[in-house]
Every structure is written in C-alpha cells, then in structure tokens.
Amino acid sequence: MSIQTFMQHMVNGISLGSLYALLAIGYTMVYGILRLINFAHGDIFMIGTYIAFYGMTAFLLPWWAAFILALVLTAAFGIALERLAYRPLRRSPRISIMISAIGASFLIENLAIVLFGGRPKAFPIAPVFAKIFKFGGVSVVSIQLIIPVVTLIFLAILVYIVNHTKTGMAMRAVSKDYEAARLMGIDVDIIITFTFGMGSLLAAVGGVLWVLKYPQLTPLMGMMPGLKCFIAAVVGGIGSIKGAVVGGFILGLGEIMIVALLPSLTGFRDAFAFVLLIVILLVKPSGLMGKTTTEKV
Amino acid sequence: MKRKLALFLALIMVFSVFAFGCAKTEETPEEVAAEEEETDVVKIGVFEPMTGANAAGGELEIEGLKLANKLYPEVLGKKVELVIVDNKSDKVEAATAVRRLVDKEKVSIVLGSWGSSFSMAAGPVVKEAQVAAIGTSCTNPLVTLGNEFYFRVCFIDSFQGVVMARYAYEEAGVKKIAILQEISNDYSVALAKFFTDEMVRLTGDEDAIISVSSYNTGDQDFTAQLTNIKNSDAEAIFAPGNFIESALIMKQAKELGMDLPLLGADTWETPEVIDIAKEAAEGAVFSTFFDSEVPLTEETTTFLEAYRAEYGADAEPAAVTALAYDAYLVALDAMERAGTTTDTVAIRDAVAATSMFPGAAGIISLDENGDAVKSAIIKVIEDGKFKYKATVEPF
Amino acid sequence: MKKNKKKNIMTLIALLLFIGFLAIADRIFDSYQMRIINLAGIYVTLGLGLNLINGFTGLFSLGHAGFMAVGAYTSAILTMSPELKEMNFFLKPIMPFLANVEWPFFPALIMAGLMAAIVGALIGAPVLRLNDDYLAIATLGFAEIIRVIFTNTQTLTNGALGLKGLPSFNNSFPYSFVYWSWGTAVVMIIGMVLLIKSSYGRAFKAIRENEIAAEAMGISLFKHKMMAFVIGSFMAGMGGALLGHLVGTIDPLMFRFLMTFNIVLIVVLGGIGSITGTVIGAVVVTVMLEVLRVLDGAMDFGFIQIQGIPGLRMVVFSALLMIVIIFYQRGLMGTNEFRWEWVTSPKKTLTNAWNNRKA
C-alpha cells in the first residue's frame, strides 16, 4: 500500500470515527446516569436530520438556522422521549426499561415512515461543505475537515460542563449513586432531563454532519449507526465521555482499515464492530477507559 | 402439569372465538362466484413493501400500479379494484399477506413485489392456490423457476449482467474491471456473477475482474472499498445494487477524485440517484428497461403523459414504476383474452401466452419459464438527466 | 391426592379437546386462517425458548434470531432434494458433502435444534459471565455475526440469494403442517412445565431473583445459566426450522434484529416468566397483526371514507405495544400460570385478583 493510499484511508477513517464518537457520547451519558441502553438514540439522530432537512426545504431557512433549529428541537424530542417512555419505568426492573427503549425505537421508525415516506430524501448541501482539496494523491472534502474539529469542540465543552460546573457535579453524583444523590438534595429529574437533552443535542450535531457527508435521509438510517455507536461507547468504557470518543475513533478507523488491509473480507465489514465488542467484553468488560465496578450485594 | 394443559382449554376458547368469528364469513366457491358476477368488481391483489427496509422500492411501484388503475379502471365491463397489502419487507409477512389476498380477498391475480425474496416467499402460496402472480421488478432467476404460476414483466439478472459486460467490453473498451457488490442483496450478487462470467469469456482473461469488494444493505460509507479500487489498475467499476447505496457510492467516488466509468443496472434509474449524487452521477452508465426519450411503444407515451400530469411536468418516473404499470396491463390483457375474471387457472394460461404485448417499458413476450424476453436499454446520466444510449436486443 | 387426580383428568380432556380442535380446524378453515394458526404455534415455541432464557433465568438475551437462522438453514439444507439444491445454487455449487443429503422432516427438525444448541453452547461459554445489558448487546452482536457469516458463505447457504422451495410437509403423512407446528409447541409447553417444576427450574428462578444469593446457596451459576441458554437455543433452532418450512423460502435478511424483537414482544406482552403468558402472547400478537391490516387499506365508515395510509398498521401496533410496556409492565399474566381453580371456582379467583390488584 502506497503512502498516499494509507493517508487517504486515514482521512476517511478519522471523519467516520468522529461521527461515531458524537453519537457514542450520547449513549455513554445516558447509560452513565440511568444504566439504560437508549436503543432509540439512533432514531433521535434520524429525527435531527429530518428536522434540518425540512427546515431548509419547507421553511427555506438558511443552512445555519436550520441546523440550530435541528439541535434545539432534537434536544426537546429527546427530553420528551425520556418523559414519556422512560420516566414511568424508573422503578421497574432494568429489563422493562430496555424493552421500552426498543419499543420506542420501533414506534419512532414506523411513525417516520408514515410521516416522511419511505423514499430517501436528498439533503441540500451548501457549497462550503463540498469543496474538494487535493494534497498530493489524497482527496479531502471540506466537510471531512470540519467533522473532527466540531467533534473536538463539543467534546471540550462537554468535558468542561461535567468537570467544572455545578450541573456536571450533580451529573457525576447521580451516576455514582442515584439514591444518595437524591438524599443530598439533588433534583434527579432535572439532571436526567438535562442529560437526555445534551445527549440528543449531540446526536443532532452528529446527524447534521452525517447528512452533509452522506447526503440522504431515510427513516431507518439511524439503525446501524446507532448500534455501532453503542458498541463504540462500550469499547471505550461505558460512562466515560473520553472513552466514547476513543471508542468511536477505534471503530471508525478499524472499519476502514479492515477493508484497506484485508480486501477479501469486505463482506464481513459490518461484523467487525460486533467482533470488536465481544473481544473487549471478554478481555476487559469495563472498556478501555471505564472504571471497574463491583456488584453491590 | 395440569395447569399447563388446562391452558389448552383457554387456547381453544381463544381460537374458537377467532376462528368462528372468521368462519361466519365463509362462503362456498359458488356463492363467491355468483357474488362476483353481481358486484361487477374484479379484485387485483398487490403485495409490496410499504414499511421496513424496502419501503422506498414499494412506494415507487405502488405509484405505477395506481396510475395504471386510474387509466384503465375496467376490464370486461367490470370495475377493477386494487387490494394492496403490506409485506413489511419481511418474508414471513409476505407469505401471509399473499395468503390473505388469495384466500380472504379472493383476488383474480396477484402483482408484486419489489424485492425477489418477497416474491419467492409468495411463490408456493400462489402455486398452491392456483392463482397467477406477475412479478414487477423481481429479477432473481429463482422467482419463476419451477413455478408455473409465477411470471414477470422484467428480464432476469443473467441477461442484464451479460448486457453490461458486453457494453463494457465492446462499447467502453475496458478490459480490467473492479466489482463492488451489495453482498446481502441477491440481485446484486447474481448480476456481479453473470457479469464476471461474460467478461472473462469476452476478454479470454481469467483476471479481467481485478477485485470484488462487498458492502451491506444500509451501509453509508464506501470510502474504504473505493480507495482500494482507486489504487488498483481497474479501468471501470461495476456496482450493481440498491439505488440508495449506489447514489452514495457515486458521490464518494467523486469526492475521492476518481474518474473511472461507473457501470450499474436498472435500479439506478430512479430520480433519487441524481438528486443525491448530483454532479457525481454524471457519466454513470447502466442498463434498464425503458426510456422516456425514445418511446418504445405507444404505451410509453401514454404512461409518461399520465405520470407527469400526476407528479409534475418534469417528473422522471423510476424504471420500476413503469414495470409495475406494465404488470397491471398484462394482467388486464390476460383477463380479456381469457374472457373471465374469476377462473384463475384460465387467467394463468392467458398470462403464460402473453406475447408481443406493448407495455410502457418495452414489448413483453414471456418465455417457457414465465420470464419476460425483452430488449434492454443502455442509458447514461448526462446534465442531471437519464439519456438514451443504445438498445440491446435479446439474444 | 384426590384433587390432583381430578386435575390430571381435566388436563387430559383438555389436551384431547385441543387435538380435536386442530383436526376440525384443519378441515373447515381456509389456508389463510390455518397459516395464522401455524404461525401462532411456531411463535409459541420461539417465545418459550426466549422466555426460558430471559424470563425464568433473567439472562437478557437478544440473540434469538441468530439461533433461528442456524436451525432454519440446518433443516432446509438437510431436507431439500438434490435437484432442488442444484436449482438453488446456480451461482456456485453447494459443498459436495451436502449435495446429496435428503432427510425426512423429523430428524432434520431435531438436528436443527441440536445445531442451534451447539452454537448456543459455543456462544454461551464466553458471554454468560456478563451481566444484563452487556449480555444483551453481546448476544445481539453474535446474532448479527451469524447473519453476516451466512450472507458470505455462498457454497453453504447460497448467500444473499437465499434458499427456495423448502419442502412444506403439508399433507404429507395424514398430517397437515399444523400438527408439526402445534405438536412441537405442545411438546415444548409440557417440557417447560416439567423443567420449571424441577429443581433445575427452581435454580433458574433463584438466579433470576438474586445471583449472589443463589450462588451462596450452592447453585452453580455457570452450569444453570448455560443449561437455560442451550435449551432456549435448541427451541429457537426448532422454531426457526418450522418457520422456514412454513414460508418455503429463507434468506439471511429474515433473521435481522427485528425478528428477535418480535419474539421479545410476545414474551413481554404475555408476561416475562409465565408459560401461559407466552402462549397467549404468541396467539394475540399473530392475530393482532392480521386484524390490524384493515388500517393499511382504505376504510369506509359509511359517513366518512379514509384513504389508506400505508404503514399505519405498524404505527398503531407499536403504539399499542408501548402502552402495554408502560402501563402493564408485567404483561398479561405477570409471572402467573393458568390453574384449574380458575375454571372450577371462578368467583374465588376473581375475588383474590381483586384483593391483590395493588400488589
């Protein structure tokens, strides 16, 4: 493999990895606080892209306004989902709440098919995102440069919130010990709402960047990325925000590199994420950057 | 132990209620026939994926069916009613849905479906019920093989793969090709295989196909596979597959600075391909059934005018929309020739005898397997439009 | 003692009545109704397998579709005639050692279950150490891996092309398929009842309630988890095989996560940890999906006509499901089972239910 080919693969892998990372953060935050795999996270991401799409096509907003609208409404959507589908089950066995998440995902997808139609929609891309640069033999589209930058900016903001604000402290407290946090006077409901809002907002950011790179919308577009990003979160260490980003990059680069190095295995590319997941779970169940927890008796 | 078995009692009750609830509506065949003669309605069953992974394809076909029904609402003086059921993009559901059509709805003929695997699930059902089924765009050879009740108005994968290989070798003059196939899609895998065989035969070169890479239905990132192809000696890419993924392949190839000719198949003739890939789709060449510029038959013009009246003056119908339209026409034509709307076996025989029928997507003659023998059209995407390039006669 | 004898007789009568019902149904129902009854029977088998793993042992597995795929393919390849295989494998021929195999249905069905059980054991050994969510996602991962492998092994499974023309075993023997589907279901129900009542069953439940306490009581966690998982996989394999023969064609895409979800739905609706619930859930879900079909078509209420909205059926179905999940978390039956007392003294049962409604 020539150096140019390798660089091209790296560029492709980094932009894919950044997108995975943005989605994985949402999974990891919700899991850290509620111990819930939010199966509907991929569908929240899908809703975000449709909001941006209709903002630009039906309401003729400029792209930046449509994107902001998408972030705000998607965060609201995520909060509403938590209120309706998860909050009533807060005291139920973990299995019930997980099934509720799968059911919610199922409902959102079926609704989307009725509301938006099954045919794919082409996302209108502002020219600024579609400039192609050539460095030697390596081709880079401007959006591929924007994606990692945006990801890192949001990661920085989030780490700041979690580590240096009162809200962040409360979030950490709730994820450590839900009951104790409540007894210490933390309004757990508000914190959970905030977490869902943040996670959904990041899903919308991921969604908008996603359709700028892969400009088509379908009601089921969130399924596979959703599943893979949860895996990324597990690989990085569930509950750890930095871990989610690391996991996202490992997954994105890994998927690209397996095709690059072993072209005969391209048909198995989708299985890579799952194989990686199982290996990690068997070797280090807490993930690369997660903390080992012991089961309380 | 006893409790468990006791449960059967409960079950029996549940079943009885459900079963006899249904049983009330049971009628003898004679009554049904008599009723149909009275009501002057003939039912045509349609099963398509309206929800699930292939909802997009189902939607395109239902457009064509509804249009045909609008233009030709009657046969033998009876009103035609389309009974459309959803197969959920799921085999189990498809078989059940078609059972419903033939048993409950008592349809005279079945049309569908987008996606060969659903048609294959419907196969045994229509065979047993002795109701003819006409496939719209299911191109897998297995659909009609060994099933005298299944027909189709499209050509099959083996023909199309050969057409594209000949085009690549004779017209485009390429000798080294990379294949990018959708591994989880029967259509794509079969096309890739027939293309490969023909290419090797034409070039006499065992290594005419430089590489075969795969992707999965629903994938959105193909940069890794494309980068590999970019750095090989391939002179063209043959990438048959679902239009949703194909549009992204075109776009990403362009972004990687590749200018290899892209070759594909009939699925690419869908307006969304151009919408999504935009200028990246320029120069893509594919084989298809039908062309709006060089009308194949009178019916093509009729179809296009009706389609544009319905969906806007510059709307481009997808190839599968035209095929679905044709399936409906062939069904009506068969009933007219059979002179009956109730005798499903007579209708089946009439469908089998279809020959030189002028459809919107070409002239349809069915061979002994029930597959349409028709000419293929080669098209290229230019200036954001599908442009006619050549016609390939069946061989 | 006397009471027990009475119940046993009642049970036997119920069983005979049920067989009678099937025989009558087979005569008077059309194929469409029979297909729904068949499907319900197959879903009972599948649901029981998942309920054993998830409901009784508390292992949250989402890999059911993978084991179904193993079973369906095993049975299909074993029972298809050599000519059929040749017709199906038109891209690449099937592996030589499988080309001329043609088994009768019964051994193939058992083999399907065994193959799925073997795969279950291989997968279970490493992953059963994980707890809830991790186990769920790992089993889901394995199911996907199985599907991807089947898609890529052209000479074994025919890849994406799928297999067509599986023998239907309808009207062979004096039986129609309904005896296979419900026969399997009945055997599985009886087997489950005996298993749950045995000491193994008590151990499963103990693990579900509290792993650590169960281990402290001397219950071998690994042994029992493995056992539940393997038996559940066996049932999934058989169910998958039955489903394949009912539909007559299979391909890897049939066994996506959505398939697992359908089964989870049946179990949840009936009640996690209730055999009776699973049976009722399977029947209700299968029938409901068909009844709701009217929503996809145009509706005529006499005074108002609604144009058909494709997909509305699935929206209503998933909305109903969410309502059940949120408001009746324990499903229709909770962890209760059917008891003859309900029939013999309904008044007492209702009074008890009323008094315990808060519990």
Distance CA B167, CA C73 (A): 38
Q: Least CA distance to C260: which residue of chain A?
A: A102
Specify the pLDDT at position C298: 62
Q: Do B4 and C189 lie within an 8 Å CB cutoff?
A: yes
Question: Are A226 and A45 contacting, i.e. CB atoms less than 8 angstroms apart?
Answer: yes
Residue count of chain A? 297
Alpha-carbon distances of A159 from A17, A26, A203, C128, rounded to whole Å: 19, 13, 16, 34
How far, rounded to the nearest angstrom, does the alpha carbon of residue C33 sit from its chain's CA centroid?
19
pTM: 0.89
Interface of C with B in 107-166 (CB under 8 A): 148, 151-152, 154, 159-162, 164-165
Q: Which of C138, C311, C319 sits opposite A278 (nearest CB)?
A: C138
Q: Out of A23-27, A102-106, B5-9, B264-268, which region has the weakest mean confidence (pLDDT)? A: B5-9
For chains A and C, CB pairs below 8 A equal 111
Specify the pLDDT at position C301: 53
Specify the pLDDT at position C307: 62
How confident is the model over B354-359, as a mean pLDDT? 92
Distance CA C316, CA C322 (A): 10
Question: Are A113 and A217 contacting, i.e. CB atoms less than 8 angstroms apart?
Answer: no
Query: Per-residue pLDDT tens for B358-381?
Result: 999 888 999 999 999 888 889 999
Q: Which has the closest alpha carbon to C74: C188, C187, C242?
A: C242
Q: Of C2 and A219, which is predicted with more confidence?
A: A219
Q: Tell me the chain C residues in contact with residue B16 when contact means C-beta distances shorter than 8 Å.
A: 21
Query: Is the CB of residue C3 less than 8 Å away from at least one CB of chain B?
Result: no
Chains in contact with A, counting 3 or more C-beta pairs less than 8 Å apart as contact: B, C
Q: Which has the closest alpha carbon to B65: B118, B111, B121, B105?
A: B111
3-class secondary-structure state, position C356: coil
For strand A132-135 and strand A138-141, is the pairing parallel, antiparallel, or unpaired?
antiparallel
The C-alpha of A122 sits at a distance from chain B's nearest C-alpha, in angstroms, of 5
To probe the interface with B, which of A259, A264, A268 has the most B CB atoms within 10 Å?
A259
Distance CA A186, CA C223 (A): 43
Mean pLDDT, chain C, rounded, equals: 86
Sheet containing strand B236-238, edge to edge, reads B209-215, B177-182, B236-238, B262-264, B285-288, B376-382, B385-392
Alpha-carbon radius of gyration of chain C = 22
Q: Do C141 and A277 lie within an 8 Å CB cutoff?
A: yes
Q: Do A103 and C325 lie within an 8 Å CB cutoff?
A: yes
Question: Are B49 and B57 contacting, i.e. CB atoms less than 8 angstroms apart?
Answer: yes
To probe the interface with B, which of A2, A12, A256 has the most B CB atoms within 10 Å?
A12
Query: Per-residue pLDDT tens for C60-74?
Result: 899 999 999 999 999
Q: Which of B60, B213, B255 sits opposite A266 (nearest CB)?
A: B213
Distance CA C127, CA C139 (A): 8
Chains in contact with B, counting 3 or more C-beta pairs less than 8 Å apart as contact: A, C
Q: Do A85 and C130 lie within an 8 Å CB cutoff?
A: no
Distance CA B351, CA B338 (A): 9
Specify the pLDDT at position C299: 57
pLDDT at B32 over 90: no
Q: Least CA distance to A269: which residue of chain B?
A: B215
pLDDT means per 10 residues, chain A with 297 residues, are 87 93 90 87 95 94 94 96 91 83 92 89 89 86 92 92 92 87 91 93 94 92 90 89 92 92 85 90 83 52
- Token output for B159: 């023909």
Q: Do A113 and B275 lie within an 8 Å CB cutoff?
A: no
Q: Do B11 and C283 lie within an 8 Å CB cutoff?
A: yes
Q: Tell me the chain A residues in contact with residue C257 when contact means C-beta distances shorter than 8 Å.
A: 227
How confident is the model over B23-50, as a mean pLDDT? 65
Distance CA B180, CA A266 (A): 10
Distance CA B358, CA B363 (A): 5
pLDDT at B333 over 50: yes
CB atoms within 10 A of CB B278: 19
Q: Do C137 and A95 lie within an 8 Å CB cutoff?
A: no
Tell me the helix, strand and coil percentages in chain A, rounded to 5: 75, 5, 20
Distance CA C232, CA C56 (A): 11
- Token output for C106: 């019964």
Instruction: Provide, rounded to the nearest whole percent, the portion of chain C with pLDDT above 90.
Output: 43
Distance CA B240, CA B164 (A): 10
The C-alpha of C302 sits at a distance from chain B's nearest C-alpha, in angstroms, of 18
Q: Tell me the chain C residues in contact with residue A98 when contact means C-beta distances shorter than 8 Å.
A: 60, 132-133, 136
How confident is the model over B113-141, as a mean pLDDT? 91
The C-alpha of B181 sits at a distance from chain A's nearest C-alpha, in angstroms, of 9
Specify the pLDDT at position A10: 92
Q: Do B6 and C39 lie within an 8 Å CB cutoff?
A: no
Query: Per-residue pLDDT tens for C227-262?
Result: 999 999 999 999 999 999 999 899 999 999 889 988
**Torsion, Cα of B140, B143, B144, B148 (10° steps):** 180
Specify the amino acid at residue C156. L
The C-alpha of B265 sits at a distance from chain C's nearest C-alpha, in angstroms, of 18
Q: Do C145 and A114 lie within an 8 Å CB cutoff?
A: no
Q: Least CA distance to B3: which residue of chain C?
A: C339
Specify the pLDDT at position C269: 86
Alpha-carbon radius of gyration of chain B = 23
Query: Is the CB of residue A100 less than 8 Å away from at least one CB of chain C?
Result: yes
How confident is the model over C21-32, as a mean pLDDT? 83
Q: Do A8 and B225 lie within an 8 Å CB cutoff?
A: no
How confident is the model over C199-223, as a mean pLDDT? 92
Q: Do C28 and B12 lie within an 8 Å CB cutoff?
A: no
To probe the interface with C, which of A110, A235, A297 has the most C CB atoms within 10 Å?
A110
Query: Is the CB of residue B128 less than 8 Å away from at least one CB of chain C?
Result: yes
How would DSSP label each residue in B328-394?
HHHHHHHHHHHT-SS-HHHHHHHHHT--SEEETTEEEEE-TTS-EE--EEEEEEETTEEEEEEEE--
Distance CA C28, CA C20 (A): 12
How confident is the model over B264-284, as a mean pLDDT? 91
Contact residues of C toward A, CB < 8 A: 54, 58, 60, 126-127, 130-134, 136-138, 140-142, 144-145, 148-149, 151-152, 211-212, 257, 261, 264-265, 268, 272, 309-312, 314-315, 317-319, 321-322, 325-327, 329
Q: Tell me the chain B residues in contact with residue C36 when contact means C-beta distances shorter than 8 Å.
A: 96
Distance CA A143, CA B89 (A): 34
Residues B295-299: contacts with CB within 8 Å, 24+ apart? B296/B358, B296/B360, B296/B361, B296/B362, B296/B363, B296/B375, B296/B377, B297/B358, B297/B359, B297/B360, B297/B362, B297/B363, B298/B358, B299/B326, B299/B329, B299/B358, B299/B359, B299/B360
Q: Which of C35, C253, C343 sits opposite B6 (nearest CB)?
A: C343
Specify the pLDDT at position B332: 95
Interface of C with B in 249-288 (CB under 8 A): 249-254, 258, 275-276, 279-280, 283, 287
Distance CA B52, CA A109 (A): 9
Mean pLDDT, chain B, rounded, equals: 86
Specify the pLDDT at position B319: 87
How confident is the model over B281-293, as a mean pLDDT? 86
Specify the pLDDT at position A35: 83
Helical segments of B204-297, H only: 223-230, 243-255, 271-277
Chains in contact with C, counting 3 or more C-beta pairs less than 8 Å apart as contact: A, B
Q: Tell me the chain B residues in contact with residue A221 when contact means C-beta distances shorter than 8 Å.
A: 220
Specify the pLDDT at position C186: 92
Distance CA B286, CA B191 (A): 12
Question: Are A219 and B55 contacting, i.e. CB atoms less than 8 angstroms apart?
Answer: yes
To probe the interface with B, which of C10, C17, C86, C338 has the most B CB atoms within 10 Å?
C338
For chains B and C, CB pairs below 8 A equal 213
Specify the pLDDT at position B6: 45
Q: Out of A166-175, B32-41, B105-114, B384-393, which region has the weakest mean confidence (pLDDT)? A: B32-41
Q: Out of A251-265, B148-162, C331-345, which region has the weakest mean confidence (pLDDT)? A: C331-345
Specify the pLDDT at position A263: 84
Q: Which of A5, A12, A139 sits opposite B231 (nearest CB)?
A: A5
